[in-house]
Amino acid sequence: MGNRVCSKPACKRVAVATLTYVYADSTAVLGPLAAAPEPHCYDLCQSHTDSLTVPVGWEVVRLKVDAALLTGTDLDYDTSYRDRHPAGTNMPRPQLRLVPPTE
C-alpha cells in the first residue's frame, strides 16, 4: 500500500488521518487513516488535521488509536477481510452513526 496524500487542494503531504461527516448529527469525525480510500471521506495530513475547523454548531470527534491495540499490518487486515468477504458477495455499505453517551 503506497502513501496517500492529503485531500486538500495543492497539498502534497502524506495523509495521517481520515475525516468523515455525520450530517444528520452535525458532526465531523477525525480518526486514524483508513485502511483504504473511501469515496466520501477525506484523507488529511498532520497540518490540516491539527487546524481542522467545522461550522458553528457542529461537533468534532477526534478518535485516537492506542498503538498497543494494533495487532498486525494493514496487509494482514486486508487479507483477513478478503478471506471473510470473497469478491462478488453483496455486502451492506458501512455506516457511521453517533450514539450519545448514557448516564
Q: Is residue 12 part of a domain?
A: no
Task: Give 12-22 pLDDT, tens digit per residue.
Answer: 999 999 999 99
Q: Is residue 67 part of a domain?
A: yes
- Which pLDDT score is estimated for 75? 46
Whether the predicted model's global pTM rises above the 0.75 cut: no
Q: Convert the chain into a string of H (helix), E (strand) and C (coil).
A: CCCCECCCCCCCCECCEEEEEEHHHCEEEEEECCCCCCCCCEEECHHHHHCCCCCCCCEEEECCCCHHHCCCCHHHHHHHHHHHCCCCCCCCCCCCCCCCCCC
Q: How many domains does the chain have?
A: 1
Q: Is residue 59 part of a domain?
A: yes
Q: Is residue 73 part of a domain?
A: yes
Q: Which domain holds residue 68?
A: 17-84
- Which pLDDT score is estimated for 102? 77
